[in-house]
Amino acid sequence: MADALLGPAEIRELAARLGVAPTKKLGQNFLHDPNTIRRIVNAAGLRPDDVALEVGPGLGSLTLGLVGAVAHVHAVEIDPKLAAALPATVTAPHLTVHPADAMRVKAADFDPAPTMLVANLPYNVAVPVVLSLLAELPTLRGGLVMVQKEVADRLTAGPGSKVYGVPSVKLAWYAEAKPAGKVPPAVFWPVPNVDSGLVAFTCRTPPMGDIDRSQVFAVVDAAFAQRRKTLRAALAGWAGGPDRAEKVLVAAGISPQARGESLTVGQFAAIAAAAKLSGV
Ligand code: SAM
Protein backbone atom coordinates (compact mmCIF):
# COMPACT_ATOMS: atom_id res chain seq x y z
CA MET A 1 0.00 0.00 0.00
CA ALA A 2 1.24 3.54 -0.72
CA ASP A 3 2.87 5.18 2.30
CA ALA A 4 1.51 8.65 1.68
CA LEU A 5 -2.13 8.28 2.65
CA LEU A 6 -4.13 11.45 3.24
CA GLY A 7 -4.77 12.62 6.81
CA PRO A 8 -7.03 15.48 7.99
CA ALA A 9 -4.48 18.23 7.27
CA GLU A 10 -3.77 16.97 3.74
CA ILE A 11 -7.48 16.62 2.91
CA ARG A 12 -8.26 20.20 4.03
CA GLU A 13 -5.24 21.57 2.20
CA LEU A 14 -6.09 19.67 -0.99
CA ALA A 15 -9.73 20.75 -0.90
CA ALA A 16 -8.74 24.39 -0.30
CA ARG A 17 -6.18 24.32 -3.10
CA LEU A 18 -8.68 22.82 -5.56
CA GLY A 19 -11.51 25.06 -4.38
CA VAL A 20 -13.64 22.03 -3.52
CA ALA A 21 -16.70 22.66 -1.36
CA PRO A 22 -18.16 19.18 -0.68
CA THR A 23 -21.77 18.78 -1.79
CA LYS A 24 -24.47 16.64 -0.17
CA LYS A 25 -26.07 16.05 -3.55
CA LEU A 26 -23.05 14.01 -4.68
CA GLY A 27 -22.56 12.36 -1.28
CA GLN A 28 -19.16 14.01 -0.87
CA ASN A 29 -17.84 12.91 2.52
CA PHE A 30 -14.11 12.37 2.15
CA LEU A 31 -12.09 9.90 4.21
CA HIS A 32 -9.23 11.50 6.13
CA ASP A 33 -8.10 8.59 8.24
CA PRO A 34 -5.19 6.44 6.97
CA ASN A 35 -6.14 3.63 9.39
CA THR A 36 -9.61 3.36 7.85
CA ILE A 37 -8.09 3.30 4.36
CA ARG A 38 -5.76 0.46 5.40
CA ARG A 39 -8.68 -1.35 6.99
CA ILE A 40 -10.78 -1.10 3.79
CA VAL A 41 -7.93 -2.20 1.52
CA ASN A 42 -7.07 -5.14 3.79
CA ALA A 43 -10.70 -6.23 4.23
CA ALA A 44 -11.29 -6.16 0.47
CA GLY A 45 -9.23 -9.34 0.00
CA LEU A 46 -7.37 -7.92 -3.01
CA ARG A 47 -4.78 -9.87 -4.97
CA PRO A 48 -1.79 -8.15 -6.60
CA ASP A 49 -3.14 -9.08 -10.05
CA ASP A 50 -6.59 -7.61 -9.38
CA VAL A 51 -8.03 -4.72 -11.35
CA ALA A 52 -9.90 -2.50 -8.90
CA LEU A 53 -12.86 -0.36 -9.83
CA GLU A 54 -13.35 2.58 -7.48
CA VAL A 55 -16.55 4.60 -7.71
CA GLY A 56 -16.15 8.19 -6.54
CA PRO A 57 -12.42 8.61 -5.82
CA GLY A 58 -13.12 12.14 -4.58
CA LEU A 59 -9.85 13.69 -3.38
CA GLY A 60 -8.04 10.36 -3.77
CA SER A 61 -7.89 9.01 -0.20
CA LEU A 62 -8.87 5.44 -1.03
CA THR A 63 -7.33 5.56 -4.50
CA LEU A 64 -3.90 6.06 -2.92
CA GLY A 65 -4.44 2.91 -0.89
CA LEU A 66 -5.66 0.94 -3.88
CA VAL A 67 -2.82 1.77 -6.28
CA GLY A 68 -0.40 0.21 -3.81
CA ALA A 69 -2.38 -3.03 -3.66
CA VAL A 70 -3.44 -4.01 -7.19
CA ALA A 71 -2.27 -4.17 -10.80
CA HIS A 72 -4.64 -1.47 -12.08
CA VAL A 73 -7.20 0.97 -10.70
CA HIS A 74 -10.15 2.42 -12.62
CA ALA A 75 -11.56 5.45 -10.82
CA VAL A 76 -14.99 6.65 -11.96
CA GLU A 77 -15.80 10.17 -10.73
CA ILE A 78 -18.87 12.19 -11.69
CA ASP A 79 -17.53 15.54 -10.43
CA PRO A 80 -15.40 16.93 -13.30
CA LYS A 81 -13.25 19.06 -10.99
CA LEU A 82 -12.33 16.06 -8.80
CA ALA A 83 -11.77 13.80 -11.81
CA ALA A 84 -9.42 16.34 -13.41
CA ALA A 85 -7.43 16.82 -10.19
CA LEU A 86 -6.98 13.13 -9.32
CA PRO A 87 -3.90 12.34 -11.47
CA ALA A 88 -1.95 15.09 -9.66
CA THR A 89 -2.72 13.51 -6.26
CA VAL A 90 -2.33 9.89 -7.33
CA THR A 91 0.55 9.78 -9.76
CA ALA A 92 0.46 6.04 -10.47
CA PRO A 93 0.87 4.91 -14.10
CA HIS A 94 -1.63 2.11 -13.49
CA LEU A 95 -4.50 4.47 -12.65
CA THR A 96 -7.17 5.31 -15.24
CA VAL A 97 -9.57 8.12 -14.35
CA HIS A 98 -13.02 8.01 -15.92
CA PRO A 99 -14.91 11.31 -15.62
CA ALA A 100 -18.33 9.63 -15.69
CA ASP A 101 -21.50 8.68 -13.87
CA ALA A 102 -21.02 5.18 -12.40
CA MET A 103 -24.65 4.40 -13.22
CA ARG A 104 -23.92 4.75 -16.92
CA VAL A 105 -20.61 2.97 -17.38
CA LYS A 106 -20.38 -0.20 -19.49
CA ALA A 107 -17.91 -3.09 -19.63
CA ALA A 108 -16.41 -1.70 -22.85
CA ASP A 109 -15.29 1.44 -20.96
CA PHE A 110 -12.71 -0.54 -18.99
CA ASP A 111 -9.45 -2.04 -20.17
CA PRO A 112 -8.19 -4.06 -18.33
CA ALA A 113 -11.50 -5.47 -17.14
CA PRO A 114 -12.32 -4.80 -13.46
CA THR A 115 -12.17 -7.78 -11.10
CA MET A 116 -12.95 -6.07 -7.76
CA LEU A 117 -15.24 -3.19 -6.80
CA VAL A 118 -13.83 -1.22 -3.88
CA ALA A 119 -15.50 2.05 -2.98
CA ASN A 120 -16.62 4.50 -0.37
CA LEU A 121 -19.90 5.02 -2.19
CA PRO A 122 -21.99 8.18 -2.47
CA TYR A 123 -24.68 7.19 0.02
CA ASN A 124 -27.73 8.50 -1.83
CA VAL A 125 -27.14 6.25 -4.86
CA ALA A 126 -25.18 3.38 -3.27
CA VAL A 127 -27.64 0.55 -3.93
CA PRO A 128 -28.45 1.40 -7.58
CA VAL A 129 -24.74 1.93 -8.29
CA VAL A 130 -23.75 -1.48 -6.89
CA LEU A 131 -26.59 -3.30 -8.67
CA SER A 132 -25.94 -1.52 -11.95
CA LEU A 133 -22.20 -2.33 -11.86
CA LEU A 134 -22.84 -5.98 -11.01
CA ALA A 135 -25.24 -6.20 -13.95
CA GLU A 136 -22.81 -4.52 -16.36
CA LEU A 137 -19.51 -6.06 -15.29
CA PRO A 138 -19.51 -9.87 -15.30
CA THR A 139 -15.72 -9.87 -14.81
CA LEU A 140 -16.11 -8.73 -11.17
CA ARG A 141 -15.20 -11.48 -8.71
CA GLY A 142 -16.19 -9.51 -5.63
CA GLY A 143 -15.57 -6.36 -3.69
CA LEU A 144 -15.94 -4.25 -0.60
CA VAL A 145 -18.11 -1.17 -0.39
CA MET A 146 -18.74 1.36 2.34
CA VAL A 147 -22.33 2.54 2.63
CA GLN A 148 -24.61 4.01 5.29
CA LYS A 149 -24.83 1.48 8.16
CA GLU A 150 -28.59 0.93 7.69
CA VAL A 151 -28.01 0.20 4.01
CA ALA A 152 -25.18 -2.21 4.88
CA ASP A 153 -27.60 -4.02 7.21
CA ARG A 154 -30.19 -4.26 4.44
CA LEU A 155 -27.72 -5.42 1.80
CA THR A 156 -26.43 -8.23 4.01
CA ALA A 157 -29.76 -9.32 5.57
CA GLY A 158 -31.12 -12.81 5.03
CA PRO A 159 -34.70 -14.16 4.86
CA GLY A 160 -36.66 -13.61 8.05
CA SER A 161 -34.79 -10.47 9.06
CA LYS A 162 -36.86 -7.29 9.55
CA VAL A 163 -34.58 -5.42 7.15
CA TYR A 164 -34.51 -8.12 4.45
CA GLY A 165 -35.93 -6.59 1.29
CA VAL A 166 -35.42 -5.76 -2.37
CA PRO A 167 -31.73 -4.69 -2.06
CA SER A 168 -30.88 -7.85 -0.07
CA VAL A 169 -32.43 -10.21 -2.63
CA LYS A 170 -31.10 -8.38 -5.68
CA LEU A 171 -27.56 -8.30 -4.31
CA ALA A 172 -27.91 -12.00 -3.44
CA TRP A 173 -28.72 -12.70 -7.09
CA TYR A 174 -25.17 -11.68 -7.99
CA ALA A 175 -23.14 -12.27 -4.89
CA GLU A 176 -22.82 -13.57 -1.37
CA ALA A 177 -22.54 -10.54 0.91
CA LYS A 178 -21.51 -10.22 4.52
CA PRO A 179 -21.01 -7.33 6.96
CA ALA A 180 -17.36 -6.36 7.38
CA GLY A 181 -17.58 -3.83 10.19
CA LYS A 182 -18.80 -0.40 11.22
CA VAL A 183 -17.07 2.92 10.53
CA PRO A 184 -17.64 6.00 12.73
CA PRO A 185 -18.58 9.45 11.31
CA ALA A 186 -15.37 11.06 12.67
CA VAL A 187 -13.18 9.60 9.90
CA PHE A 188 -14.92 11.72 7.24
CA TRP A 189 -14.84 15.34 6.26
CA PRO A 190 -17.43 16.76 6.37
CA VAL A 191 -18.66 14.61 9.27
CA PRO A 192 -21.89 12.80 8.24
CA ASN A 193 -24.68 12.37 10.77
CA VAL A 194 -24.88 8.59 10.25
CA ASP A 195 -22.64 5.61 10.91
CA SER A 196 -21.19 3.76 7.95
CA GLY A 197 -20.86 0.05 7.35
CA LEU A 198 -18.60 -2.11 5.22
CA VAL A 199 -20.10 -4.80 2.99
CA ALA A 200 -17.85 -7.50 1.55
CA PHE A 201 -19.18 -9.60 -1.29
CA THR A 202 -18.11 -12.50 -3.46
CA CYS A 203 -19.73 -12.88 -6.86
CA ARG A 204 -21.31 -16.17 -7.75
CA THR A 205 -23.24 -17.77 -10.56
CA PRO A 206 -26.88 -16.61 -10.38
CA PRO A 207 -29.14 -19.24 -8.75
CA MET A 208 -30.87 -20.17 -12.01
CA GLY A 209 -28.85 -19.21 -15.00
CA ASP A 210 -31.58 -19.91 -17.57
CA ILE A 211 -34.07 -17.54 -15.96
CA ASP A 212 -33.84 -13.94 -17.03
CA ARG A 213 -32.75 -11.65 -14.22
CA SER A 214 -35.45 -9.11 -15.05
CA GLN A 215 -38.15 -11.79 -14.65
CA VAL A 216 -36.86 -12.69 -11.20
CA PHE A 217 -36.50 -9.04 -10.18
CA ALA A 218 -40.12 -8.37 -11.27
CA VAL A 219 -41.29 -11.04 -8.80
CA VAL A 220 -39.07 -9.58 -6.07
CA ASP A 221 -40.38 -6.04 -6.66
CA ALA A 222 -44.00 -7.25 -6.59
CA ALA A 223 -43.51 -9.36 -3.44
CA PHE A 224 -41.94 -6.53 -1.44
CA ALA A 225 -44.20 -3.75 -2.75
CA GLN A 226 -46.76 -5.18 -0.33
CA ARG A 227 -44.49 -7.00 2.10
CA ARG A 228 -47.13 -7.54 4.79
CA LYS A 229 -49.42 -9.40 2.41
CA THR A 230 -49.26 -13.10 1.62
CA LEU A 231 -47.55 -13.92 -1.67
CA ARG A 232 -50.92 -15.01 -3.12
CA ALA A 233 -52.17 -11.44 -2.66
CA ALA A 234 -48.90 -9.57 -3.23
CA LEU A 235 -48.23 -11.33 -6.54
CA ALA A 236 -51.81 -11.04 -7.83
CA GLY A 237 -51.09 -7.95 -9.94
CA TRP A 238 -47.94 -9.47 -11.38
CA ALA A 239 -49.57 -12.86 -12.18
CA GLY A 240 -52.92 -11.58 -13.46
CA GLY A 241 -55.03 -12.44 -10.42
CA PRO A 242 -54.68 -14.18 -7.04
CA ASP A 243 -55.68 -17.61 -8.40
CA ARG A 244 -53.01 -17.48 -11.07
CA ALA A 245 -50.49 -16.33 -8.44
CA GLU A 246 -51.46 -19.30 -6.26
CA LYS A 247 -51.06 -21.73 -9.16
CA VAL A 248 -47.55 -20.45 -9.89
CA LEU A 249 -46.56 -20.53 -6.22
CA VAL A 250 -47.76 -24.11 -5.79
CA ALA A 251 -45.90 -25.13 -8.96
CA ALA A 252 -42.76 -23.53 -7.48
CA GLY A 253 -43.22 -25.47 -4.24
CA ILE A 254 -43.92 -22.34 -2.16
CA SER A 255 -46.87 -21.82 0.16
CA PRO A 256 -49.25 -19.15 -1.21
CA GLN A 257 -49.65 -18.01 2.42
CA ALA A 258 -45.91 -17.27 2.80
CA ARG A 259 -44.57 -13.71 2.64
CA GLY A 260 -41.78 -12.41 0.46
CA GLU A 261 -39.62 -11.66 3.46
CA SER A 262 -39.22 -15.41 4.14
CA LEU A 263 -37.99 -16.40 0.65
CA THR A 264 -34.44 -16.92 -0.54
CA VAL A 265 -33.30 -15.57 -3.89
CA GLY A 266 -33.40 -19.17 -5.18
CA GLN A 267 -37.09 -19.37 -4.27
CA PHE A 268 -37.81 -16.10 -6.07
CA ALA A 269 -36.05 -17.58 -9.10
CA ALA A 270 -38.19 -20.73 -8.77
CA ILE A 271 -41.35 -18.60 -8.87
CA ALA A 272 -40.14 -16.83 -12.03
CA ALA A 273 -39.28 -20.21 -13.57
CA ALA A 274 -42.70 -21.67 -12.72
CA ALA A 275 -44.39 -18.57 -14.17
CA LYS A 276 -42.45 -18.95 -17.39
CA LEU A 277 -43.43 -22.63 -17.67
CA SER A 278 -47.10 -21.91 -17.06
CA GLY A 279 -47.14 -18.94 -19.43
CA VAL A 280 -47.83 -16.24 -16.76
N1 SAM B 1 -13.48 7.88 -2.25
C2 SAM B 1 -13.44 9.19 -1.62
C3 SAM B 1 -13.09 9.05 -0.17
O4 SAM B 1 -13.25 7.94 0.35
O5 SAM B 1 -12.69 10.03 0.42
C6 SAM B 1 -14.76 9.96 -1.80
C7 SAM B 1 -16.01 9.23 -1.37
S8 SAM B 1 -17.45 10.24 -1.35
C9 SAM B 1 -18.42 9.37 -0.14
C10 SAM B 1 -18.32 9.82 -2.84
C11 SAM B 1 -17.69 10.25 -4.15
O12 SAM B 1 -18.51 9.78 -5.22
C13 SAM B 1 -17.58 11.75 -4.37
O14 SAM B 1 -16.30 12.03 -4.85
C15 SAM B 1 -18.64 12.08 -5.43
O16 SAM B 1 -18.31 13.18 -6.24
C17 SAM B 1 -18.67 10.78 -6.22
N18 SAM B 1 -19.93 10.47 -6.91
C19 SAM B 1 -21.20 10.78 -6.53
N20 SAM B 1 -22.11 10.27 -7.39
C21 SAM B 1 -21.39 9.59 -8.33
C22 SAM B 1 -21.74 8.84 -9.49
N23 SAM B 1 -23.02 8.66 -9.84
N24 SAM B 1 -20.75 8.31 -10.25
C25 SAM B 1 -19.45 8.48 -9.90
N26 SAM B 1 -19.05 9.18 -8.82
C27 SAM B 1 -20.00 9.72 -8.04
Each residue's pLDDT tens digit, 253-273: 999 999 999 999 999 999 999
Residue 48 CB burial class (10 angstroms; 0-12, 13-18, ≥19): exposed
CA–centroid distance, residue 29 to ligand 1 (Å): 8
32: nearest Cα among 2, 1, 64: 64
114: nearest Cα among 146, 137, 89, 90: 137
Each residue's pLDDT tens digit, 21-45: 999 999 999 999 999 999 999 999 9
Q: Which residues line ligand 1 (CB under 6 A)?
A: 26-31, 55-59, 61-62, 76-79, 82, 101-103, 120, 122, 125
Ligand 1, closest atom to CA 32? 5
Mutate to test the pocket of ligand 1, among 32, 35, 106, 120 (most ligand atoms within 8 A of CB): 120
Ligand 1, closest atom to CA 57? 1
Indicate which residue's Cα is closest to atom 8 of ligand 1. Answer: 28
The answer to whether 29 is annotated as binding is yes
Q: Dihedral, CA atoms, 37, 176, 116, 45, nearest 10 degrees?
A: 50
The answer to whether 120 is annotated as binding is yes
The pTM assigned to this predicted structure is 0.96
Give me the pLDDT at residue 279, please: 77
Measure Cα distances from 19 to 11, 13, 29, 88, 260 in Å.
Answer: 12, 10, 15, 15, 48
- What's the whole-number average pLDDT of the chain? 95
Read off the DSSP letter of residue 199. E
In one-letter notation, the amino acid at residue 249 is L
Q: How confident is the model at residue 227 (pLDDT cuts 50, 70, 90)?
A: confident
Each residue's pLDDT tens digit, 168-203: 999 999 999 999 999 999 999 999 999 999 999 999
The answer to whether 198 is annotated as binding is no
What share of the chain in percent tops pLDDT 90?
Answer: 93
Work out the average pLDDT over 214-220.
96
Read off the DSSP letter of residue 211. S
Q: Is the pLDDT of residue 208 over 80?
A: no
